A = this chain, B = another copy of it.
Amino acid sequence: MGKIYVIGIGPGDPEMMTGEAGEALRSCEIIAGYKTYTDLIKRYYPDKEYYENGMRGEIERCEKCVEYAISGKRVALICSGDAGIYGMASPLLEVADKMGFDDVEIIPGITAALSGAAELGAPLSHDFCVISLSDLLTPWDLIEKRLRYTAACDLCIVLYNPSSHNRPGHLKKACEILMTVLSPDTACGYVRNIGREGSEKKLCTLSELLSETVDMATTVFIGNSQTEIKRGRMITPRGYKI
């Protein structure tokens, strides 16, 4: 029997991958993943066999990984960012459970909440939440409720998947909901293409964020009531007297 590693490769730059992620990739014969992500790493692991497919091919990808492993292969299933946070660890474990396969190891990676925060300063230095604005797999009503409740208890908020071709208005709608609770001057920021070519970032207020156009590769940060912008950095105080 083989083995499956579900590996978070971080934002894309191999320098932002952990040592154990690199080690696991080197040890595998087959690397499976969403094509955009396999393209990011192929040049560093040119001698591997690749299994790639596209969006909505997630379950088939997991089934293939388990089939390869049952046939004795060592398989790396890669995810951008972390293996778990909106990653493939969950569907892979569910598929492996169904197919009766056990030898799975999850290897964490730097998710966009961490890499994006580091780019902006220190926006997540107090309690925070991570919410995806994609309603492909989650009812929009539940997303709205989570925005309202987390704003009401003054959490810092990270938004994943803030926009796509099919739902260009989601960030605007989210900002409108947040502004029913939060000050329009709440410190915000976003980062696009973290750790990849063409990376860009911006700091703004919540009311300015409402009119910004962002894409799927953007991660958005909304501060809590204490967050400030100082010297071009978004800083959420931990509470020390400074």
> Which residues of A does B touch, CB under 8 Å?
8, 10, 13-20, 22-23, 58-59, 82-87, 89-91, 93-95, 97-98, 102, 106-111, 114-115, 117-119, 121-132, 136-138, 142-143, 145-146, 148-150, 152-155, 230-231, 233, 235-242
Contact = CB atoms under 8 A, between A and B. Distances in A.
Copies in the complex: 2
Contacts of A13: 20
B106 A121 contact: yes
A87 to B, nearest CB: 7
A82 B116 CA distance: 12
Nearest to A100: B231
Most buried by B among A90, A94, A129: A90
Given A84-B114, A84-B118, A106-B117, 9 more contacts: A8-B114, A18-B18, A82-B114, A86-B125, A89-B121, A90-B238, A111-B114, A126-B138, A127-B146
A94 B17 contact: no
Contact of A240 (B19, B91, B109, B132): B91
Nearest to A83: B118
A124 B17 contact: no
B125 A87 contact: yes
B115 A108 contact: yes
B58 A240 contact: yes
A57 to B, nearest CB: 11
**3 tightest A-B CB contacts, nearest first:** A137-B239, A90-B125, A129-B129
A19 B8 CA distance: 14
A82 B239 CA distance: 18
A235 B86 CA distance: 12
A128 B129 contact: yes
